[in-house]
Amino acid sequence: MSLDITPQVPASRQIVRAYGDGGFNISGVQHEGSVFVFLEETRAWSGEITLDALEPVIHLINKPEILIIGCGSTFELPDEALRAALKAHGIALEWMDTAAACRTYNVLALEERSVAAALVAVV
């Protein structure tokens, strides 16, 4: 007997399929540059990691409990003021390089967690 353990992914669920060369393939659609990835949609993003640039996440009606920021090809420490500001809006910040952020977002999205990602494009 064999069992199919492939996770069932809702058709509208945004999953990062590939990254690099300055963009992302998310659920079969190529996106150039940095992006916000929400469970149901992907949007272009400036790639600036500031509170102002993250406003679209903060003002969502169903804002995520977790925001994963992929800060590029190398890990840099997050600004603690940014972490505190997001926490004040009820959003926990997870900070990692873009490769780890793509993988982590996918796992949490498939677990139906309340998550979004802000991914800085890498070459």
- CATH fold for the domain made of 33-119: Hypothetical Protein Mth938; Chain: A, (3.40.1230)
Q: Say if CB 121 and CB 34 are below 8 A apart.
A: yes
Distance (Å, whole) CA 106 – CA 123: 20
For the residues 82-99, what does the mean pLDDT come to? 97
Give this prediction's pTM.
0.92
- Identify the sign of the CA torsion 115, 113, 92, 99: negative
User: What pLDDT digit, counting tens, does each position of 14-72 carry?
Assistant: 999 999 999 999 999 999 999 999 999 999 999 999 999 999 999 999 999 999 999 99
For 67, the token pair is: 């925001």
How would you classify residue 102: left for phi > 0, otherwise alpha for psi between -120 and 50, otherwise beta? alpha
